[in-house]
Amino acid sequence: MQHRAFNRITSEPRSVRWIWFVYLALYAVAIPWYWPEGYIGPLVMGFPLWVATTLLAIVALAGWTAYVIHRFWRSEDEETV
């Protein structure tokens, strides 16, 4: 849709394509599809290795998201919009 208010948006994450490839890669690590069936592995800080890997990927996803919101979601005069 079109609206004059959209002219105030100078950047939005949805339209920056490469951002989403990073998300795809991080989700591919976070979802534990690549481990052998029935795998548990050694414990890392109390978590099985596959869970520790997923948690690490979620931390990376959160950090990446904070950066994307800060850098790629921009609007004119953000203090009043």
Partner 1 sequence: MGSGDIVFGPGALIAVGCYLLSMIGVGYYARTKRQADSMADFYLAGRSLGLLVLFLTLYATQYSGNTLFGYTGKTYRIGFEWTVSILFMFSIIIGYMLFAPRLVVLARAEGFITPGDYISYRFKSRALTLLSTTMMIYALCNYTLAQLKAMGAAVEGITNGAVPSAYGIVALAIIMVIYETLGGMRSVAWTDVMQGIVLLIGFALLVIIVPTQLGGGLESVVQRLREIDPSKVQVPDGQGNNTWISYVFLLGCGAAIYPQAIQRLYASRSLAVLKRSLMLMAFMPLTTTLIALVCGLTAIVVLPGLESVETDQVLARVLALVMAESTLGYWLVVVVFAAALAALMSTADSALLSISSMFTRDIYLPHIKPDSSETHLTWVGKVFSWIAVALLVAVAIGTEKTLVRLLELKFEVLIQVVPCFFFGLYWKRLSGRVALLGMAAGLVVALVLTWSGNRLPWGFHAGVLGLFINAGVCAVGTWLAPDTSEER
By CB under 8 A, tell whether 28 contacts partner 1: no
SS3 assignment, position 27: helix
Query: Which of 17, 22, 24, 65 touches partner 1 (CB under 8 A)?
Result: 65
Q: Which residues pair with 48 in a beta bridge?
A: 43
SS3 assignment, position 3: coil
38 DSSP assignment:
T
Positions that interact with partner 1 (CB under 8 A): 1-6, 8-9, 12-14, 23, 27, 30-33, 35-40, 43, 45-48, 50-51, 54-55, 58-59, 61-62, 65-66, 68-70, 73, 75, 78-81
